[in-house]
Amino acid sequence: MIRHILHGFIKALLLTGLLNTTLSHAADEPLRIGSKRFTESYILAEVLAQTAAPHVATPPVVRHGLGNTAIVYEALRSGSIELYAEYTGTIALEILKSDKPMSRDAMNAALAPFGLGVTAPFGFNDGYALAMRADRADSLGIRTLADLAKHPELKLGLSNEFIGRADGWKGLAAQYRLPQSPTGLDHGLAYGAIAAKQVDVIDIYTTDAKIDSLGLRVLGDDRQYFPRYDAVVLYRLDVPARFPAAWAALQKLEGRIDERAMIAMNARAELQGQGFDVIARDFLQGGAASSAQRGFADKLFGPDFARLTRQHLLLVGASVALALLIAVPLAILVFPHVRLRAAVLGLAGLLQTVPSLALLAVLISWMGAIGTLPALVALTLYALLPTMRNTVTGLNEVPQGLRQAAIALGMTNRQNLWLVQLPLALPTLLAGVRTATTIAIGTATIAAFIGAGGYGERIVTGLALNDRGLLLAGALPAAALALISEAVFEVIEWLMRRRFRGVSSKVNALQA
């Protein structure tokens, strides 16, 4: 039976690979656009995609929420995306590691050896700043960053990227002699934390929509630490030649978005719950902005539901199948050798302790790619331990007398394994596959942080917007999928129990 299961998985994987290869060659290669994991970057990615769409044969592919600068820039360098919206201060200080701001010509000269360039400034500056509640600032007499240095008791909740950036906390603290020790906090959650008075100071983008709505005061940068962060397009130099018509259209975006327009678009996403694609469309068409908010049902069963379900199922199914193909033969191989078995299981257990995001970051660096491939490798590694451990446990539970009886009947070691040991170990092995599947369904949501899609895409976006409805719209389908998988495995186990009764009668006859 296990032979038929493995054979079926192999056929499914080969068929999937063949179909993907055929489709990829049949269709024109799309323009791939990335975004970071905050509201403005999502919107600008949609603006770029919708501007290019009428001028390309295949609709552009938008990879939303790729994480911080390091991940999305690595995606650009590796060719996983062709362009994305970036900021001049980030390019100069974070990417090019300059100790001072750079002109656009200087940035292009420095980026050229990497096959990259900067173009089409959108027309607005979105700088970093620190902010605190205005009432709290007034009570303490704080108006500037220099004033902040006089209050070491204040709690700072800063985004992890800002804490680690060359132009972030370290340099700012040195410039102003700030004594506080900040706590890392997701940017999308920071506004909720400061509104709930859980922190006193957060880092913001100056075009954030919630600054005014929450009554925050942006602290003055009296020593001019922060450079300008003019929004631009960071792109691969081969894009103009590969997509000439789309490239010409993208150049017309230069200077079209000012600070007020960007704040208004951010507000529609963060305060009204409008979709990024709708906001971008309204801006490009110059029409009146719709004020209708999406209800929970619209978020849950939105037009992306089928695509996200397909992506999530592919990640889970392929990773569990690969883990099964690797773990079962490996467990059979090491089972007779106690020390080797312990070492292999220990290594698989060690992989389970590596945080998901850390493992994904390492795989991106090693593979030079983002998206499905590193996510699939990570999920496969996490699925190895339960599958391998249960295979070993199942084999170990086969009575020694049955093994010897099979040998006494003239069975070879191979026949003994396939006809006696594995059928008896199959229920325990299947329990391991069941556990691996549940783990994969939950862990696959993390894959959205590197552009692999799935239900995690909604969770990532919900975090960026602090939108609980969107978070639930991603979490609930994942939970439902886990419940469905449990029901499927229950049916399989019931069928196996019926089949196992027949095997048991043969085993009893063998023992007799």
pLDDT tens digits along 398-416 = 888 877 787 777 888 888 8
CA distance 206 to 132: 13
- Cα 419 to Cα 429: distance, rounded to the nearest angstrom: 15
- Pairing between β-strand 128-133 and β-strand 61-63 as defined by DSSP bridges: unpaired
321 within 8 A of 12, measured Cβ to Cβ = yes
CB atoms within 10 A of CB 196: 8
| Whether the predicted pLDDT of 104 surpasses 60 | yes
Angle at 310 between CA 309 and CA 311, to 5 degrees: 90
DSSP strand pairing (32-34 vs 61-63): parallel
User: Percent of the chain at pLDDT above 90?
Assistant: 62
What is the rounded average pLDDT of the residues 456-481?
89
Closest CA to 178 of 196, 200, 206: 200
pLDDT at 249 over 90: yes
CA dihedral 214, 266, 369, 69 (to 10 degrees): -50
Per-residue model confidence as pLDDT tens digits over 336-355: 899 999 999 999 999 888 88
368: left (phi over 0), alpha (psi -120 to 50) or beta: left
How far apart, in Å, are the Cα atoms of 296 and each of 305, 467, 472, 473? 13, 11, 9, 7
Domains and CATH numbers, the chain: 31-125+229-293 (3.40.190.10), 128-218 (3.40.190.120), 305-511 (1.10.3720.10)
Instruction: Give CA 71 to chain center in angstroms.
Output: 10
For tokens 């590691």, what's the residue? Answer: 97
Q: Hunting for tokens 């419940």 — which residue is that?
A: 483
Whether the Cβ atoms of residue 324 and residue 433 lie closer than 8 Å to each other: yes
Phi-psi region of 138 (alpha: psi -120 to 50; beta: other; left: phi over 0): alpha
Structure tokens at 481: 């999928």
What's the confidence (pLDDT) of residue 450? 82
Of 264, 178, 160, which Cα lies nearest the Cα of 219? Answer: 178
Tokens (6 digits) for 424: 């008896």
Neighbours of 48 (CB within 10 A): 29
CA dihedral of 166, 362, 117, 457, whole degrees rounded to 10: -100
pLDDT in tens, 259-313: 999 999 999 998 888 889 999 999 999 865 555 667 888 888 888 899 999 999 9
Asked if residues 314 and 447 have their Cβ atoms less than 8 Å apart, the reply is no
pLDDT of residue 411: 85
440 C-beta neighbours (distance < 10 Å), count: 26
C-alpha span between 289 and 279 (Å, rounded): 7
DSSP state of 55: G
Give first-to-last CA distance, the chain, whole Å. 24
Judged against a pLDDT cut of 90, whether residue 150 lies above it is answered with yes
Longest dimension (CA), the chain: 91
Sign of CA dihedral 425, 427, 430, 435: negative
Tell me: the pLDDT tens digits for 121-130? 999 999 999 9
Which string of DSSP letters, residue by residue, matches 422-453? Answer: HHHHHHHHHHHHHHHHHHHHHHGGGGGGGT--
Distance of CA 144 to the CA centre of its chain: 36
What's CA 154's distance to the chain center, in Å?
33
Sheet holding 156-158, edge to edge: 183-184, 156-158, 201-205, 128-133, 216-218
Cut 0.85: pTM above it:
no
**Dist CA 289 CA 274 (whole Å):** 10
What does the pLDDT read at residue 18?
Answer: 38
